Structure 1
Amino acid sequence: MSMEKLKSMIDASDNIVFFGGAGTSTESNIPDFRTADTGLYSSKGQKYPPEVILSHSFFMKYTKEFYRFYKEKMIYPEAKPNLAHLALARLEKQGKLKAVITQNIDGLHQMAGSKNVLELHGSVYRNYCIKCRASYSLDDVVNSIEMVPKCKKCGGIIKPDVVLYEEGLDTYTLEKSIEYIVNADVLIVGGTSLVVYPAAGLIEYYRGNKLILINKSTTPYDHVANLVIQDSIGKVLDCIVGE
C-alpha cells in the first residue's frame, strides 16, 4: 500500500525535491556515520574522537593527523552509484525531480547523472590551497607524496572543500536548498536520521502535504510525514521510478 501511494505521488508531480543523507550511499559500500564499530564516527582504534579530527581547529593544528583519518575513512574513489542514485537521475531526466540536496560529500549523485545537485557539506572532489586558493582534484590529494598535500604554486596546504565542524554551511547552497524545499510539491527525504543540524532543520521549510521519509530506522520527523517507508532506499526508488 505504501509503495502504491508513493508511486501515485511521484506520477502526479513534476516538482519533486530529494533531500538525502549518508544512508543514500551505504548501498555503495560507503559507511554511514554513527553505526557502532563500523560507522565513520566510531572511535575504535582512534587516538582522537572523529568529531574532533573533523574540526577546523584540528585541521589547522594537527593537519597530518587529520589527513591520516581523512584519506582512510572519508575517501572512497572506487565507490559507484547505487540504485537510489540512478533512480533519482532518471527522475530528473524525466523532468519530475527539480533538485537533489545532499549531506554527502562523495559525488555519487553527479556520477549517476544528476545535474542539479546541492552539496550542503561540500565534496571530496574539490580541494583548494588555503593560501592562494588554487584548485586541486581528488587525485592530487590522494596521490600526494607527503601525507599533507601542498600547493604546487605557493607551497600552501591543500584543504578539501568539505564543511568541517566549527565551519558554517555555504550560504548560497543553503539558500538555494531552502528555496527548492519551500517551492516543492513533493519532498522525498531518504537515508538520513534527521538529527544533524542545521541540515536536518531544512525540512521544516517544506510547506506541502507530500512529505515522504524513506529510511531504515525511525526519525524525529516520522510523526509529521505524510508517508513513512522503512526499507532500503535503493530498492524502493528503483521499484517506483521507471526508465
Structure 2
Amino acid sequence: MNCNTGTGPGHRPRRTLFDVSLAQRVPSYADAPAPPGAAPAVTPDRVHEVLADRPLVALTGAGLSTDSGIPDYRGPGAPTRAPMTYQEFVSGPEPQRRYWARSHVGWSRMGQAQPNAGHLALARLEARGRVRMTITQNVDGLHESAGSRQLCALHGRIAEVVCLGCREVTSRLRLAARMTELNPDWLARHGEAAARPDGDVDLDGTHDFVVPGCESCGGVLKPDVVFFGENVPKTRVQRCYDAVEEAAGLGGALLVLGSSLTVMSGLRFVRRAAKLAVPVVIVNRGGTRGDDLATAKLEAGTSEFLAALAGPGA
C-alpha cells in the first residue's frame, strides 16, 4: 500500500561491512543532540544479531539511490546545495521558470533511473514478511519500481504534478512532453548540465524557457512533492508513527538506510523508536543526527548491506 495522496553515480571510496561502530543510547530527545565520543567497534555479526529475525520498519534517504545515479545532499564529498524553497517557488513566475527549466533537464535523466540492488533487496525482504513498512524520504519512485508495496513516500513522488489552483494531479510524463513541445531544443542545449539531488540540474540563463500552465484551469504547476518550507501531510506522518509503534509491539526494529537524518521529517521517527525502546540500526556513510540514539551504526553502503541481509532471491 502506498500512502501517496496526490502529492552516472560519482565514484566514492567503498567501505566494507567491517567499518562498524556501536553508538551509545542516551535518554535525550533535544533538538540537534551533540554526537557522543568515539563508539566501540563491533563486528557485522553483532549488527545482524541486533536485527536477528525481528520485523523491520525501514527509513530510507537519498544515500539509497546514489547507486542508481541520483546524487545525494549530504554524503561524503557532496557539494553544498541550496534547494528552492516552497516560499520562493510561489513568489512569482521567474523562480517558477528557473525551477522548471532546470527540472525539465533533470527529469529527462531521473525518469530513466533504475532500482539498484538495495531497492530490490528491500522489496524481497518485504515479500518475505520481514519488512513491514518502508518509509522513504526519496521522491524518485524507485522503491515502487523495485516492487515495494508497503510504502509511505513521505515527501511525495516527482513523477506527479499538482496544480496550485484547482489541485488536479497529473502525470509528469505528460508535462515533460508539453515542455518539450514548447521548448524543442532545450534538452539538446543543456543536456550536459550537472545533476542535483532534487531531480534538477545546475543551470543558469533560464529566462527564455516557456512554462506551461495547468491544462484544466491555467494555474501554476508544481511537482507533487514536499518542498523545503512545506509540511509533510499529517496523515503520512501519523501512518509512519503507527508503523514504528506497531514495531514496538512486535519486538521489531527501525532500520535507517542512507539518511543523514538532518531534517526533522525523518529524525522524528528515530526519536519515537528510541523512546519506545525499539532498536535502531543506522546504515550510512558519514555521521547522522540520530547516531546517539542508535543501537548500532554501520559505515557502509546501503546496496551491499541490504543485499547481504536479504540474501539471494528473485
Q: Does TM-score exceed 0.5, indicating one fold?
A: yes
Offset at 1:84? Answer: 0.9
Cα distance in 2 for partners of 1:198, 1:11 equals 27
2:87 to 43, 57, 69: 57
- Sequence identity percentage: 29
Aligned to 2:218: 155
* 3-state DSSP of counterpart to 2:178: coil
Q: 1:157 to 1:220 in 2, by over 3 A?
A: closer
Give the aligned partner of residue 72 of structure 2. 32
Counterpart of 1:192, as a letter, is: S
Return the match for 1:197 from 255, 264, 270.
264
Q: Quote how far apart the aligned CAs of 1:209 are.
A: 4.2
Q: Which amino acid aligns with 1:84?
A: G
Query: Aligned residue for 1:168?
Result: 231
Distance change (3 Å), C-alpha of 1:33 and 1:73: farther
Matches of 1:58 and 1:220 in 2, distance apart?
A: 27
Larger of the two Rg values belongs to structure: 2
How do 1:1-150 residues align onto structure 2 when only pairs under 5 Å count? 2-13=43-54, 15-34=55-74, 39=79, 42=81, 50-51=82-83, 54-60=84-90, 61=92, 62-73=95-106, 76-145=110-179, 146=182, 147-150=210-213
Q: TM-score with structure 1 length normalisation?
A: 0.87
**Offset of residue 236 of structure 1:** 0.7
Residue 281 of structure 2 corresponds to residue 236 of structure 1? no
| Conserved? CA contact 1:148–1:157, under 8 Å | no
Distance across 2 between alignment mates of 1:169 and 1:100: 16
1:162 deviates by 0.6
Match of 1:45 in 2: none
Give the corresponding residue for 2:196. Answer: none
SS in 2 for 1:90: helix
Q: Following the alignment from structure 2 to structure 1, what is the Cα–Cα distance between the partners of residues 117 and 77?
A: 26
Letter in 2 for 1:20: T
CA contact (8 A) 1:58 1:66 kept: no
Q: Which runs of 5+ in 1 are unaligned?
A: 43-49
1:199 deviation in Å?
A: 2.6
Contact residue 2 and residue 229 of structure 1 kept, 8 A: no
Conserved in 1, the CA contact under 8 Å of 2:76 and 2:285? no
Deviation at 1:157, TM superposition (A): 2.3
**How much has 1:215 moved relative to structure 2?**
0.4
**Distance (Å, rounded) in 2 between the aligned partners of 1:209 and 1:170:** 25
Give the distance between the partners of 1:114 and 1:139, measured in 2 at CA: 22
| SS of residue matched to 2:285 | coil
**C-alpha spacing 1:90/1:10, structure 2 compared with 1 (3 Å):** farther
AA in 2 matched with 1:109:
H
Structure 2 distance, partners of 1:5, 1:36, is 25
Aligned residue among 208, 221, 245 for 1:182: 245
User: Following the alignment from structure 2 to structure 1, what is the Cα–Cα distance between the partners of residues 264 and 144?
Assistant: 24
Distance 1:138 1:89 in 2: 25
Distance in 2 (alpha carbons) for counterparts of 1:144 and 1:104: 25
Where relative contact order (Cα < 8 A, 6+ residues apart) is larger, the structure is 2
Equivalent position SS for 1:143 = helix
- List alignment gaps of at least 5 residues for structure 2: 1-41, 183-209
Q: Which secondary structure does the structure 2 equivalent of 1:188 belong to?
A: strand
CA distance in 2, matches of 1:139, 1:38: 29
Distance (Å, rounded) in 2 between the aligned partners of 1:124 and 1:92? 23
Taking a change above 3 Å as real, the CA distance of residues 176 and 92 of structure 1, as seen in their structure-2 partners, is same
Q: What per-residue deviation string (whole Å, max 9, x for no partner) do you get for residues 162-199 of structure 1?
A: 11122111111111011111222111001011111233
Q: CA RMSD in A?
A: 2.1
Aligned residues: 232
1:221 corresponds to = 290
Name the TM-score, length of structure 2 as normaliser.
Answer: 0.68
